Structure 1
Amino acid sequence: MNPILPRPARVETERRLRIAVILLISFFWLPPAAWGEEKITVEIEGVEGALLENVQAYLSLEEPPSPLTESTLRRFYRQAPEEIHQALQALGYYQPRIDSELTRAEERWVARFKIDPGPPVRVARIDLTVTGEGRGDSAFDELLAEIPLREGETFHHGEYERTKEMLQNLAAERGYFDARFMTHRAAVDLVKNEAAVEIGFDTGSRYRLGEVRFKQEEPAFDPRFLARFVPFEPGEPYHADQILALNSLLVNSAYFARVDLRPLREEAADHTVPIEVTAIARKQYALSIGLGYGTDTGPRAILGWDNHRVNEWGHRFSSELELSVLRQSLTADYQIPLRRPATDKVDLQAGIQREETETAESRLAKIGVSRSVLRGSRWIETLFLNYQSETFEVGGEVGHSRLILPGVTWTRTLADGSLNPRRGSRVSFTVRGTDEVLFSDIRLLQSEVRAKIIRPVRSSGRILLRGEFGWTSVSNFNDLPVSLRFFAGGDRSVRGYGYNTLGPENESGEVIGGRYLATGSVEYDYRIAEQWGVALFYDIGNAANDWDLNPQDSVGVGGRWYSPVGPIRVDLAYALDRPGFALRVHINMGPDL
């Protein structure tokens, strides 16, 4: 049972509770000035640039705690000369003269520091030696030529520490895991204002790459297939770039949802380090639905179905249905990876397509096989053999062709980013041909060159250069199917003109396509915000049946939205060679390369 207080006692208790509540509220809600917080301004004279920035970084008074009391302020002021001395010494000024003053002005304190940094300490001698197996490694010779410390320059403690860090980083990168400093000191002579630097670095023995052990949460792939991704042989000298290359090959293969690599240094034997790879396979099946719009195609929908691993040897199957006003197609691809699965593969392909443009109509069925391999370190070579049957109508003429078409394509893509590169290029060369002896309806030899180059302009701009060239030799041009004729005009050709509306015309003025093609474009993009940009462009080109191309050109402006799935472009183009034409809007999306 709780005791009942007499009334006077209860009144006194309630009064004390109210006072406590008021004090608590005052503590949390009254402004800091109400509890006596001090304010301070710091003024520094005599130094500028890096010296001033370092002094400010060292001074406790520059970032005092809150609330700042007078006692804390005075303590920080007393220790300020020593902090300034340390800040200047770090940059090579060992004998500064510091005058300080602390005054009160109205409602704030003012701390003034007048600094004479004195003469700098110069580096008189650098004695840097590398011993161990690294002594014969050219990478260390190159590093020694690039160290930031230089004789005759001001001694900078940060550069001294950075030199040691560069040695340690290079050793770790190249597998000198037992590397250590035998000596590392900087002797400063304050009489001569000189510093003598001595660094002795023993790399020890260089480790070698060992076996690669793959761990899978589920046995999705045969270990022998995974071993094909490894870009090095066991026993090669260790280099971190080889580990990064293996990681990149696995991640970019699209087989895995997650990849983790770990050198097992604790299990190293005879200076050989095994590598452990934990690879988690992505889901086997994927259904994708995409909606889009392009001026060339109009609204479009894409339905895709993929089997990312038909079997444990990495075979894949993909299919895609595309529906748009201009084009309807259904394609299927069965992919078989080869010795280097990241780049080498065989594709078995089949598809049907119907396309109807302003100038032609085509119904195409195709089956084929291709083999892609990496040549050198950059070029992908694709040998292909296709059979295609096409019914077409162009310029009022109806035709049908059956072709067995072998060919080869060489492609090289370089970029510093996959979606919105600041610097990059893509070049492709294609040669294809056939003859009646191959049971084709025509004799044909055709080549195409496509190139696009992107270069940065200062911090926010880019120049994009694009070119496309084509050449055809054919026994009878009228029998050449629409899919192999050259046309110009459209979102990715000469803007300002409709899709495939440029080219040779028949007697009725209808565009029928040509043997030759030459188009080019110069574009300047400027990013005005993180996800937005504007563009200016000039396009020129045409298709023709002789080398008198009669090029058509256009100019325009555009807007860019750098979306998470790639840039979306909206361009307003004007056809210079057709006065009176209305401005044409072009909308398209996709990667720049």
Structure 2
Amino acid sequence: MVVPRFLPILLALTAAAARAQAQPVPPAPAPAEPAVAEPAIPGPESPLPDLPGGEAVAWPDVESTTGGEVAAPDAAIRYRVEVSGLAELGLEDEFRGLSSLWLHRGEETNLAQLGRRIAEDRDLTELLLRSIGHYGSQARITIVPGAAGQPSLIRVAAKPGPVYNFKEITITAPPGALGPDPSRIVSRLLPIRVGDAVEAARVQSAQDGLPIRLADAGYPFARIAPPDITIDHATRDAVLLQSVDLGRRGVFGAIHIDDGVKGMDDKHVSLLARFKPGDRYSNAGREDLRRALVQTGLFGAVAIKPGEGAVRDDGTQTVDLVITSEPAPMRTIALSGGFSTGQGVRLEGSWSHRNLFPPEGAFTARAVAAQREQVAQVELRKRNFGQRDRQLLVTGGFSSSQQFAFAAETLGVSAALARESNIIWQKDWTWSVGAQALITSQRDRSATGDPRRTFTVLAFPSSVTWDRSDDLLNPSRGFRLTGRLSPEFTLRNQSNFNYLKAQFEATAYKPIGDSLVLAGRFHIGSIVGASRGVIAPDRRFYAGGGGSVRGYVFQGVGPRNADNVPTGGNSLTELAVEARYRFQAFGQDLGIVAFVDAGEVSTGTTPSFDRLSLGAGIGARFYTGFGPVRVDIATPVNPQAGDPKLVFYVSIGQAF
């Protein structure tokens, strides 16, 4: 029979009960049966003893409902099982998972096999009841023979005995202990209190978690003896005596890693640690380092084992961390596709080597083939560049874009230094500073004669974000504030000019009950220092599309020329409100969304808020482990000439 993992503690409680039973106790109103010696490990052949107050469980009664003759011992028997008295205590699922009767229900068996299963399940029932503090319990199992050709019914009825409670918990240090008096520290960390029920499962869980809690408190090498529990059946109380040698207080020492991943040496791994040598040791710090290594994507498995180091002059002991690892596959091929009204079909593919320039130097070659865009680009990304969570990103490549407002062929390089946020460690503050150098040939479709001009652009974009939301991909409460600045210098037709491009975006999320979230977005931008007509068309502001104003195609919001071509502008305003309702249906995690978006593009440097384009629609969400898949359908409320009646969007992640 499979036994629960708390059996060692339960046996300790049973042994304690036997010791207490052997001691003199005050006379009780009704004398109990004399104590009977019991084996160390109960089983089918040596059942658990009956504690005082409980009845001996007799061989199951057989209730005859047919009046026919009893089957021969070797006759084939089929049966079904009915359990009562355990569901109310939360034990029925565990009983079914361990029960011999339940496991073999519906199978053909004989009386000898059935008898063994009944004895095992009687013991199991009492074992489970004791595990939650009920002693002197009764387990009655009866058989009701079935009618001709029908299976018999086996009834398992549990009657819990009284609950025993801890009246005293004593923590002591063994003779010759290296550590200080453990009573105050362990009592605070041990999740068992005076007055709690004597539950074997809870005591076992407390014992399992105590080494981790002590390590977090700075004692990674504590030596913990098994608990000594004494039970008094007369008063239904228990005393727990725990012996703990805390050992010396630990401080972080050296970090050593194997050579499983190229470039991930001791020095670089120390860069990822949030602690320094000499800081107080904590298990949380060690676990944080392990997760940081996993987050790099270079490891398939990581284990960090603390090792005893030298004893320092102040009596503390250094804790060296020894890291063993398994490398993950370094190369990745990715393919993706999509469709949106106005932009058409889009296919994208990439090849990556996550450690081509060790340590953590990832190289990616990327290509996009779409109806309105073609891209060929290479990228170098160095994560944890000189500091944890800081990355260096260098990109270069060629792009060709054929949009409603312009056509552009661009060759450029860029570099950026940024502080990252990610799903494991979402940060309150993130930032980015960088530089771009571009040579681009562009046709301004909104200008008379559709002229083509060449621009040389040098830009220095930067951004900062304050994020107090609760989730990167699917926020339900909090807010985000982002500011962006980009001084840009442009050379066109042997003349040069410069301007400043500034943007501010705020989003907020408010839960209403457990299933509904109200979300809002406000985005404003301005270009100061140059008029719209001289700025490269792809550097102007445009609005419309799935991440802007839904109900309109990309670049569909804002001023247009006589031929209905978007001109772009020097200022931008976008607003959005969503109601997101999440629910379970068809075994899936789903959601529906209703939204209203608004936006405006102006030729002046200051938004005017007098020509807002409105869009409204509904959407569906399919929630997955990597974020929600979004499907939105929207319509323009105050369309201009040429705007579609319905626009369809599919993407990953919420709109904002």
Query: What TM-score do the two structures reach when normalised by structure 2?
Result: 0.69
2:222 to 174, 179, 185: 179
Note the C-alpha offset of 1:447.
Answer: 1.9
- Cα distance in structure 1, aligned partners of 2:564 and 2:644: 20
1:405 to 448, 459, 483: 459
Matched, 1:471 2:553: no
Q: Which moved more, 1:238-247 or 1:580-589?
A: 580-589
- Cα distance in structure 2, aligned partners of 1:300 and 1:441: 35
Corresponding letter in the other structure for 1:519: L
Structure 2 counterpart SS, 1:37: coil
Q: Aligned residue for 2:433?
A: 383
Matched, 1:238 2:281: yes
Q: Aligned residue for 2:444?
A: 393
| Native 8 Å contact 2:290 2:304 kept in 1 | no
Q: Aligned residue for 2:189?
A: 143
> Greater helix percent: which structure?
1
Structure 2, unpaired ranges of 5+? 1-71, 312-316
Structure 1, unpaired ranges of 5+? 1-32
Q: Aligned residue for 1:71?
A: 112
Corresponding letter in the other structure for 2:593: L
Do the aligned partners of residues 304 and 579 (structure 1) sit closer, same or farther apart at CA in structure 2, a change above 3 Å counting? closer
Do the aligned partners of residues 118 and 564 (structure 1) sit closer, same or farther apart at CA in structure 2, a change above 3 Å counting? closer
- Cα distance in structure 1, aligned partners of 2:270 and 2:93: 52
Q: How many residues align?
A: 553
Q: Per-residue CA shift, 1:82-104, capped at 9, x if unaligned?
A: 55444333333323466665443
Q: Which moved more, 1:330-339 or 1:467-476?
A: 330-339
Structure 2 counterpart SS, 1:498: coil
| Native 8 Å contact 1:51 1:91 kept in 2 | no
Q: Which moved more, 1:334-343 or 1:378-387?
A: 334-343
Corresponding letter in the other structure for 1:50: L
Q: Aligned residue for 1:39?
A: 78
Matched, 1:497 2:497: no
Structure 2 counterpart SS, 1:192: coil
| Native 8 Å contact 2:462 2:484 kept in 1 | yes
- Cα distance in structure 1, aligned partners of 2:79 and 2:117: 11
Structure 2 counterpart SS, 1:358: coil
Corresponding letter in the other structure for 1:489: G
Corresponding letter in the other structure for 2:541: F
Q: Which moved more, 1:38-47 or 1:128-137?
A: 128-137
Do the aligned partners of residues 224 and 85 (structure 1) sit closer, same or farther apart at CA in structure 2, a change above 3 Å counting? closer
RMSD: 4.6
2:401 to 355, 360, 366: 355
Structure 1 counterpart SS, 2:227: strand
Note the C-alpha offset of 1:159.
Answer: 2.1
Query: What TM-score do the two structures reach when normalised by structure 1?
Result: 0.75
Q: Per-residue CA shift, 1:212-242, capped at 9, x if unaligned?
A: 3333358556765555444443344333333
| Native 8 Å contact 2:167 2:195 kept in 1 | yes
| Native 8 Å contact 1:434 1:440 kept in 2 | no
- Cα distance in structure 2, aligned partners of 1:35 and 1:456: 65
Do the aligned partners of residues 55 and 395 (structure 1) sit closer, same or farther apart at CA in structure 2, a change above 3 Å counting? closer
Note the C-alpha offset of 1:497.
Answer: 1.4
2:92 to 44, 53, 56: 53
2:483 to 402, 406, 429: 429
Q: Aligned residue for 2:9?
A: none
1:371 to 385, 392, 417: 417
Corresponding letter in the other structure for 1:380: T
Do the aligned partners of residues 155 and 299 (structure 1) sit closer, same or farther apart at CA in structure 2, a change above 3 Å counting? same
Q: Per-residue CA shift, 1:243-292, capped at 9, x if unaligned?
A: 333333333334x3545334264x75544444344566677776665544
Q: Aligned residue for 2:389?
A: 343
- Cα distance in structure 1, aligned partners of 2:335 and 2:382: 25
Structure 1 counterpart SS, 2:526: strand
| Native 8 Å contact 1:123 1:197 kept in 2 | yes
- Cα distance in structure 1, aligned partners of 2:264 and 2:242: 50
| Native 8 Å contact 1:296 1:491 kept in 2 | no
Q: Which moved more, 1:380-389 or 1:530-539?
A: 530-539
Within 5 Å, which residues of 2 pair with 1:6-25? Answer: none
- Cα distance in structure 1, aligned partners of 2:528 and 2:140: 91
Q: Which moved more, 1:394-403 or 1:353-362?
A: 394-403
Corresponding letter in the other structure for 1:535: I
Note the C-alpha offset of 1:408.
Answer: 1.6
Q: Per-residue CA shift, 1:386-433, capped at 9, x if unaligned?
A: 344553515335576554332321247799998788899876431223
| Native 8 Å contact 1:488 1:501 kept in 2 | yes
Note the C-alpha offset of 1:572.
Answer: 2.4
- Cα distance in structure 2, aligned partners of 1:433 and 1:138: 60
Corresponding letter in the other structure for 2:135: Y
Matched, 1:488 2:543: yes
Note the C-alpha offset of 1:298.
Answer: 1.9
Do the aligned partners of residues 239 and 564 (structure 1) sit closer, same or farther apart at CA in structure 2, a change above 3 Å counting? closer
Corresponding letter in the other structure for 2:435: L
- Cα distance in structure 1, aligned partners of 2:228 and 2:485: 65
Q: Aligned residue for 1:160?
A: 203
Do the aligned partners of residues 92 and 275 (structure 1) sit closer, same or farther apart at CA in structure 2, a change above 3 Å counting? closer
- Cα distance in structure 1, aligned partners of 2:172 and 2:628: 52
| Native 8 Å contact 2:171 2:182 kept in 1 | no
2:597 to 540, 544, 547: 540
